[in-house]
Amino acid sequence: MIADRARFRGARKLSRATGLRIPDQVFHGAFLEAVSSGINFEFLDGPLRAQLLEFVREFLSCGCRDSPDCGCPERRFAGKVLELREEGLDHREISARLLEDFGIDVYPADILSYLEESVHVLEAIREVAQIQGRGALGTACDRHLKSIVR
């Protein structure tokens, strides 16, 4: 999972500012719990606060009853990486964007393997869709494939 590769660069700073023990793995339960409920954002400096607010808005706003343990944050993060790729960013640019917007570190090489893996999954789904005569699904896979592989 690409979400398992995500590290929060300001984790130590965040731990110091809040007095909480916050892991640097972003999609670790303790990190998500702290960010979604335990932190008073007013005590954080501007950039750190902005990144965390953006993180909450983008990945933790699903409204499931068992949020943030519902799986949505991880799924949304994986989707975000694909979305950035489909906007035309390469794996290095995606890595830089995740750091800039959310303070999240993911190695470009990990992003590249995730993109390759996604291509294989999409190709497999497209094949099954063709066999089962599900044209719309096949077309959707095709469209995503074209914008990822270019």
Task: Spell 35-49 as b/e; 16+ CB within 10 A means b.
Answer: bbeebeeeebeeebe
Closer by beta carbon to Zn ion, 58 or else 90: 58
> Per-residue DSSP letters for 94-127?
HHHHHHHHH-EE--HHHHHHHHHHHHHHHHHHHH
Question: Scanning residues 47 to 86, which ones bind Zn ion (CB under 5 A)?
Answer: 62, 64, 67, 70, 72
CB atoms within 10 A of CB 142: 14
* Least distance in angstroms from the C-beta of 55 to Zn ion: 15
* Least distance in angstroms from the C-beta of 36 to Zn ion: 11
* Least distance in angstroms from the C-beta of 142 to Zn ion: 29
Looking at the chain, the number of H-run helices and the number of E-run strands are 7, 2
What single DSSP character describes residue 36? I
Closer by beta carbon to Zn ion, 34 or else 48: 34
Closer by beta carbon to Zn ion, 6 or else 60: 60
Closer by beta carbon to Zn ion, 62 or else 109: 62
* Least distance in angstroms from the C-beta of 1 to Zn ion: 16
Where on the chain is the footprint of Zn ion (CB under 5 A)? 62, 64, 67, 70, 72
